[in-house]
Amino acid sequence: MKIKDGFIMRDVLDKTMVVPTEEAGKDLHGFIRLNATGKFIWNAIAEGKTIEETAKAMTEAYEGLSEEQALLDVQGFVEKMKEAGVFEE
Q: How far apart (Å, rounded) are the C-alpha atoms in residues 77 and 87?
A: 10
Helix (H) or strand (E) holding 57: helix 51-61
Residue 49 pLDDT greater than 90, yes or no: yes
pLDDT in tens, 23-48: 655 666 678 899 999 999 999 999 99
Contact criterion met (CB below 8 Å) for 8 and 24: no
Range of the domain at 10: 2-88
Residue count of the chain, please give it: 89
Dump pLDDT digits (tens) for 54-89.
999 999 999 999 999 999 999 999 999 999 889 998
Q: What average pLDDT does this structure show over 1-5?
A: 90
Given this model, what pLDDT does residue 67 score? 95
- Give the total number of structural domains in the chain: 1
- Domain at 78, CATH number: 1.10.10
